[in-house]
Amino acid sequence: MWSYNLEGTLGYGLKLTHGVSLSGSAGVAERFQPATSGGDFPYYVLRVRADIDLSERWSWNVITYRYRNAFDTANNYDTPEVSTAITLKIDNSSFIYTKYFFNWQNGPPDTQGFGIGYKYRF
């Protein structure tokens, strides 16, 4: 089964020391999926994270906690996630990352995996 998520988030970061920072974000999103799986629905997402700069270009996202849920809880999308990631800074706006994650839905952790991604910072 295919599905896609489109998220729009706003966040804020706080430098605790020269190489350690905390940040958080909140956003709204849409989950796109076949009508046979219940159809599309909107949801909200919250994230908090702790990062350590390993060098000028590399950083380690020690931990990120994500909470997301559908506005209409009948969609059964209460899907928290915990992850760790390594990020390469390409320039001041572009980043490539790889992460390990596990998430769960309505109970104990049930999914784990690796992901890669691109992030653009305004």
Query: What's the confidence (pLDDT) of residue 76?
Result: 86
Query: What's the confidence (pLDDT) of residue 44?
Result: 98
Secondary structure of residue 105 in the 3-state scheme:
coil
Query: What's the confidence (pLDDT) of residue 122?
Result: 81
Task: Parse the chain into domains and list their residue ranges.
Answer: 4-120
Instruction: Please say if the pLDDT value at position 107 is more than 80.
Output: no
pLDDT digits (tens, 9 = 90+) for 48-101: 999 999 999 999 999 999 999 999 989 989 989 999 999 999 999 999 999 999
- Specify whether the CB–CB gap between 84 and 64 falls below 8 A: yes
| Residues 91-120 as b or e (16 or more Cβ within 10 Å = b) | eeeebebebebebeeeeeeeeeeeeeeeee
pLDDT digits (tens, 9 = 90+) for 1-24: 789 999 999 999 999 999 999 999
What is the CATH architecture of 4-120? Beta Barrel (2.40)
Instruction: Please say if the pLDDT value at position 109 is more than 90.
Output: no
Query: What's the confidence (pLDDT) of residue 15?
Result: 95
pTM here is 0.85
